[in-house]
Amino acid sequence: MDDHLLPGKKRKTQAMNASVKEMTRAKKTAPAKRNRLSSVTTAIRLLKAFSEDEVEIGVSALAQKLKVAKSTVHRLAVTLVAEGLLEQNPETERYRLGIGLFGLGTLVRRRMDLSNEARPYLFDLRKHTGETIILGIPSDTEVMHVYDLESPQALGIKSDLGARKPAYCTAVGRAIFAFAPEEMIDRVLTPPLTKRTAHTITDVARLREVFAEVRQRGFAVEDEESEPGIRVIAAPVRDSSGSVVGAVGVAGPSQRLSLDAVESFARPLLDTVATISSRLGYGAVYRR
């Protein structure tokens, strides 16, 4: 029979097809929704509610903007104030973005500036050494790799972009934190320190001597202390204020690189970090 003779059946079939399509879309989006925490999403939306036109906003206005209960906004605001991400004006009781967000934004800006300025010189250093080049920045008491250039050689080490590693047993970490204030060094060297390999130094007194050697020589060396079979030499990068904002490392397999071979990279490495530092506004010259 022709479809036009069964309009009811046709409409039913179309409705079923539409329902199947809707269920398919729901299945595709469901995992993403399940993996999201509603409270975190609301907190982020709360922070994004502020603008140049609305620097300070009260609880009622925030609740209206976010379409949530005032009690929910109040609880989130109190938590964000405690974490430094919001501040409350004691006179108006309205909320404004906190200085903690400025600190986080500064870290992002610093990372972006450092990566952008360092990139061409990291390529030059890899060409000169033939080994993997690492750019790391401090992340609390650890270091995070924000740029890695793998060695072109057949025998090399795998790129670890985005990885966080302990500062006490890595050349990049030592090159950064050896120049940190004493209280930060104390945090980095707070026991217990994990022995990641057979060569890892965990004695705090010895590590303090290692940090002092880094300050004296201007670079740090890692001899299979973080990962078995890997040696690294690293030197600090400074910004316009003279603060150490990161470190560049040259890394390679220990079966190809002896300690002497690793330290032979010190001169080109120091020249590289001196150039990058000058690009960031640091005027001093690194010397061995």
- Find the CATH number of the domain harbouring 132: 3.30.450.40
255 and 241, same domain (yes or no) = yes
What mean pLDDT do residues 20-37 have? 51
C-alpha distances (whole Å) from 211 to each of 11, 153, 189 are 78, 31, 10
How many domains does the chain divide into?
Answer: 2
Q: pTM, whole model, 2 decimals?
A: 0.63
266 and 153, same domain (yes or no) = yes
Is it the case that residue 57 has pLDDT exceeding 70? yes
Is it the case that residue 191 has pLDDT exceeding 70? yes
Q: Answer whether residue 287 is part of any domain.
A: no
238-250 residue pLDDT tens: 998 899 999 999 9
81 and 112, same domain (yes or no) = no
242-288 residue pLDDT tens: 999 999 999 999 999 999 999 999 999 999 999 999 988 887 444 33
Integer Cα distance of 29 and 83 in angstroms: 32
The CATH number of whichever domain residue 25 belongs to comes to 1.10.10.10
Q: With CA atoms as reference, report the closest residue to 134 among 116, 109, 161.
A: 161
* Residues in CB range of 195: below 8 A, 6 or more apart: 202
> Could you give the angle at the alpha carbon of 216 between the alpha carbons of 210 and 220, nearest 5°?
50
Q: In which domain, by residue range, is 53 found?
A: 8-97
32 and 164, same domain (yes or no) = no
